[in-house]
């Protein structure tokens, strides 16, 4: 008997030397990937003009410096003075009061104007342009203009003051009246910006949602409550964050409108920072107030993001 052995098959061979059924290894992708290079210019700009100055101010808060000569290390003396100063705590409470009042007043007005201007009403474009005019003016010009209007001798406050309980029209000379005027001027100045945010967000709400609600018999008030407000949730949080953090930096309006008066009734932390640094020439203590404002603003922003659920960043149009 003759045994024949068959040579083992080498398997199917593909044209070009490859093995059929076996995927060849992919060639390494040598295409340059910019990746994070896109954000490098913005990151450098932020580091130079934001992070760097904040670090510098933080270091200066541990120094004594009058603006001339070399700063001298003072340890924690500025911070001990900051925490033990009654004027600082009064100014902090006044700052938080002003922040809360500005948010309570500006939010509904901005929301109403923004949602209205997103519609198709007659003369909407012309009126929207008029409403947004304060956004084009500088804070200094607005403060000086309103100071002339609120002048108790020659301004409109002389005639309008008695209507709101100020017989002499001197709103800026009264403790509560001065704070009320600041809230009013700040609201008039910044409502257009926040209304613009709401207008853009309201225009992105699909009209089909309102059509479906109309078919179900929903009126305007019902549609606003159950459709518009939920769809504007993220915008409300964004606007509130900008509004609250921005309220911590009001300075030029107070300086030009009341100069901290009457009797220190409008002394807020940014104003005290200015007076300590450029009137008393205590730059180290002014830097301490500035650092505290940064910490306060950052903390409020993180609290808003944490408790509002904004960190999830889920689209309100999901599923539509």
Residue 48 CA to residue 41 CA, distance in Å, equals: 11
Q: pLDDT tier at 312 (50, 70, 90 boundaries)?
A: low
pLDDT the model gives residue 30: 59
Q: pLDDT tier at 318 (50, 70, 90 boundaries)?
A: low
State the CATH number of the domain containing residue 193: 1.10.3720.10
Q: Does residue 247 form part of some domain?
A: yes
pLDDT the model gives residue 126: 86
Q: Does residue 7 form part of some domain?
A: no
pLDDT the model gives residue 127: 84
pLDDT the model gives residue 112: 94
Average pLDDT of the segment spanning 79-99: 95
The average confidence (pLDDT) of the chain is: 86
State what percent of residues in the chain have pLDDT above 90.
Answer: 61
Q: Does residue 36 form part of some domain?
A: no
Q: Does residue 34 form part of some domain?
A: no
User: Do residues 289 and 82 make contact, with C-beta atoms less than 8 angstroms apart?
Assistant: yes
Q: Does residue 35 form part of some domain?
A: no
Q: Does residue 161 form part of some domain?
A: yes
pLDDT at 274 over 50: yes
Q: Does residue 22 form part of some domain?
A: no
pLDDT digits (tens, 9 = 90+) for 145-202: 999 999 988 888 888 888 888 878 889 999 999 999 999 999 999 999 999 999 999 9
pLDDT the model gives residue 1: 41
Residue 133's domain comprises 55-312
Average pLDDT of the segment spanning 55-77: 94
DSSP characters over 130-188: HHTGGGGS-HHHHHHHHHHHT-TTTSTHHHHGGGGT-TT--STTSHHHHHHHHHHHHHH
pLDDT the model gives residue 3: 45
Q: Does residue 30 form part of some domain?
A: no
Task: Write out the two tokens for 258.
Answer: 């009341």
> Total domain count for the chain?
1
């Amino acid at each position: 008997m003759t045994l024949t052995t068959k040579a083992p098959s080498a398997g199917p061979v593909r044209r070009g030397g490859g093995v059929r059924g076996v995927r060849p290894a992919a060639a390494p992708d040598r295409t340059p990937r910019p990746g994070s290079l896109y954000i490098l210019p913005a990151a450098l700009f932020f580091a130079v003009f934001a992070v760097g100055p904040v670090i510098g101010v933080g270091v200066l808060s541990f120094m004594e410096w009058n603006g001339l000569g070399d700063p001298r290390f003072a340890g924690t003396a500025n911070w001990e003075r900051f925490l033990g100063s009654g004027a600082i705590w009064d100014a902090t409470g006044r700052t938080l009061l002003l922040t809360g009042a500005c948010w309570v007043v500006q939010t509904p007005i901005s929301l109403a104007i923004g949602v209205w201007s997103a519609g198709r009403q007659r003369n909407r474009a012309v009126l929207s342009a008029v409403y947004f005019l304060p956004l084009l003016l500088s804070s200094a010009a607005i403060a000086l203009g309103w100071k002339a209007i609120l002048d108790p001798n020659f301004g409109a406050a002389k005639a309008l003051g008695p209507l709101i309980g100020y017989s002499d029209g001197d709103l800026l000379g009264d403790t509560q009246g001065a704070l009320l005027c600041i809230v009013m001027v700040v609201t008039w100045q910044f409502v257009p910006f926040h209304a613009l945010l709401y207008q853009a967000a309201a225009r992105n709400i699909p009209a089909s949602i309102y059509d479906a609600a109309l078919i179900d018999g929903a009126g305007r008030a019902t549609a606003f409550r159950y459709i518009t407000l939920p769809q504007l949730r993220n915008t409300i949080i964004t606007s509130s964050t900008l509004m609250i953090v921005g309220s911590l930096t009001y300075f030029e309006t107070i300086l030009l409108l009341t100069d901290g008066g009457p009797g220190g009734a409008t002394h807020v932390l940014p104003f005290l920072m200015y007076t300590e640094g450029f009137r008393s020439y205590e730059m180290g203590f002014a830097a301490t107030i500035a650092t505290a404002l940064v910490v306060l603003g950052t903390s409020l922003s993180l609290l808003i993001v944490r408790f509002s659920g904004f960190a999830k960043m889920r689209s309100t149009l999901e599923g539509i």
